[in-house]
């Protein structure tokens, strides 16, 4: 299984500013994903980040608002730009990795809790 | 557009009782996940169901998948307080993208 870390674990930001969230994996993975969990809600996929190509965004999410970098096979960043209170959420990265069973599974990082005031 | 629906959304149980959480989805998929989330925490993977008729059990939890009915169930046997959490099902589609259900908030009362 993959071990995923995220920085920062939480932050409080002022509206209009931007925050970059880092995701680090302990092994090389092809696909990384960024999800958002709004307060009391389920998870929604923001984008898929593959190394060496542009991120693929889901409907309702755009690159100008959520630029993503994927410089190598173990690291990715998500920036939340020009923040508003509606961006207050938990942001989670996830990866596909091979489990002890031999099959691949999807694992989630600990999340970044963002509050925008 | 894929829709994933869980029910119930809220479940309050007494310890020792049995109950089932249902997860219905609207399009074909061969891979379904169940996750647990404790308050303020990330997601913990419980089960990955890969094929029709798959059944997996871990402790007091058992998950099954019927791909023809597009239905998965998470059965809780003899619930204990430690099982209190929110449970999500998630359906995998092309590109390993996950679509999540709304979540079932389970409270097990002594």
Say how far apart CA A22 and CA B38 lie, in whole Å: 23
Say how far apart CA A85 and CA A63 lie, in whole Å: 19
Say how far apart CA B18 and CA B88 lie, in whole Å: 18
Q: What is the mean pLDDT of each run of 10 residues along chain A (117 residues)?
A: 93 98 94 95 95 91 97 96 97 88 85 97
Closest residue, chain A, to B40 (C-alpha): A113
Does the pLDDT at position B81 exceed 90? yes
Pairs across A and B, CB distance < 8 A: 53
Query: Which of A41, A105, A111 faces B48 most closely, judged by CB atoms?
Result: A105
Q: What is the pLDDT of residues A85-102, one digit of tens each?
A: 999 999 999 998 877 777
Distance from CA of A44 to the nearest CA of B (A): 7
> Which pLDDT score, from 0 to 100, does residue B23 have?
98
């Amino acid at each position: 299984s993959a071990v995923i870390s995220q920085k920062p674990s939480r932050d409080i930001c002022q509206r209009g500013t931007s925050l970059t969230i880092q995701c680090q994996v302990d092994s090389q993975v092809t696909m990384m994903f960024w999800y958002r969990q709004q307060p009391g809600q389920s998870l929604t996929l923001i984008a898929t980040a593959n190394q060496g190509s542009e991120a693929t965004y889901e409907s309702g999410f755009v690159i100008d608002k959520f630029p993503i970098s994927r410089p190598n096979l173990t690291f990715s960043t998500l920036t939340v730009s020009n923040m508003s209170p509606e961006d207050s959420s938990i942001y989670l990265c996830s990866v596909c990795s091979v489990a002890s069973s031999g099959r691949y599974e999807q694992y989630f990082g600990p999340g970044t809790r963002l509050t925008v005031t | 557009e894929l829709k994933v629906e869980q029910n119930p959304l809220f479940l309050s149980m007494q310890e020792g009782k049995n109950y089932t959480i249902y997860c219905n989805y609207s399009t074909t998929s061969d891979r379904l996940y169940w996750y647990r989330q404790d308050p303020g925490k990330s997601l913990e993977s419980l089960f990955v169901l890969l094929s029709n008729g798959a059944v997996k059990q871990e402790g007091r939890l058992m998950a099954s998948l019927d791909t023809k009915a597009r239905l998965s169930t998470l059965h809780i046997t003899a619930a204990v307080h430690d099982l209190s959490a929110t449970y999500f099902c998630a359906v995998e589609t092309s590109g390993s993208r996950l679509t999540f259900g709304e979540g079932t908030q389970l409270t097990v009362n002594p």
